[in-house]
Structure 1
Amino acid sequence: MVWDGEAGEWRRRHNHKLIAFLGLLPISNVIRSQRLQYDGHNARMEEKRLTRRVMLGKPIGTRPRGRPRKRWMDNLTEDLGILEIDPNEWMKLAEDRALWRRTVKAAMDPPGPSPPE
């Protein structure tokens, strides 16, 4: 809450206004960027490394009943969709460190609608 001297009353500040006022980035953009940075690192690993095998492997067995849990690759596919990158070509893109670094930086401020005023 903040005091509005002109109106003579208290008013609420919403998150999107606070983010704009303080010049901060939304936390979801920062998380997306960090996740893509790690995925690029993982994509450049040797194929025998455990983390890469886990990321690209298929688990054996059945899933429990109910809604499936969101997997890491589901988040990656969603992030790539926001940045308009083909999910089948991202590993080739990650091989070029400079290009992937620009992609990670672009994830901080993806295209899309701006928050309401």
Structure 2
Amino acid sequence: MLAIWERQILKKIFGRKIVRKRWVRRTNQKLQQLYGEPNLVEVAKASRIRWIGHAVRLPVGRQPKRIFKSEPGGKRRRGRPKARWKKEVQEDIAKLRIMDWRTKANDRKG
């Protein structure tokens, strides 16, 4: 949904294009090329991956670390399971083929 919203905004920013008295549609790739910045979905995924590395390095007693390590309990509602933040990040990491990301995050200096 974020990608759809971004394309709608880019269409409003860059406007319509008229060539030989006819409206020409701009493709999503052309809009992204005109914009020249990474799309919002990629920026959001990169931020999530940076934050998960930070959460792994936190001391054990910190609240964000405890929340990160916890698993939701109780019975799940009927229907499709809700998307979980941790699962989304793990899928992003798998798509980027990052192996041993926990070890790499813990070995990081700084």
Shared fold, TM over 0.5:
yes
List alignment gaps of at least 5 residues for structure 2: 1-15
Higher helix share: 2
- Matched to 2:27, the amino acid is H
Q: Greater shift after overlay, 49-58 or 71-80?
A: 49-58
What is residue 26 of structure 1 aligned with on the other side? Answer: 39
* Alpha-carbon distance in 2 for matches of 1:28, 1:48: 32
Q: Which amino acid aligns with 2:88?
A: N
SS at match of 1:10: strand
Q: Tell me the matched-pair count.
A: 94
Residue 58, structure 1, aligned to residue 71, structure 2: yes
Q: How far apart are the structure 1 equivalents of 2:108 and 2:45?
A: 17
Alignment correspondent of 2:10: none
Out of 74, 92, 114, the residue aligned to residue 103 of structure 2 is 92
Match of residue 8, structure 1, among 21, 29, 32: 21
Residue of structure 1 in register with 2:13 after alignment: none
Identity %: 33
TM-score by length of structure 1 reads: 0.72
**Displaced runs of 4 or more, over 6 A:** none
Q: CA RMSD in A?
A: 1.6
Structure of greater relative contact order (alpha carbons < 8 Å, 6+ residues apart): 1
Name the CA distance, whole Å, in 1 between partners of 2:69 and 2:28.
Answer: 37
C-alpha deviation, 1:22, in angstroms: 2.4
What is the TM-score with the length of structure 2 in the denominator? 0.76
Helix, strand or coil for the counterpart of 2:68? helix
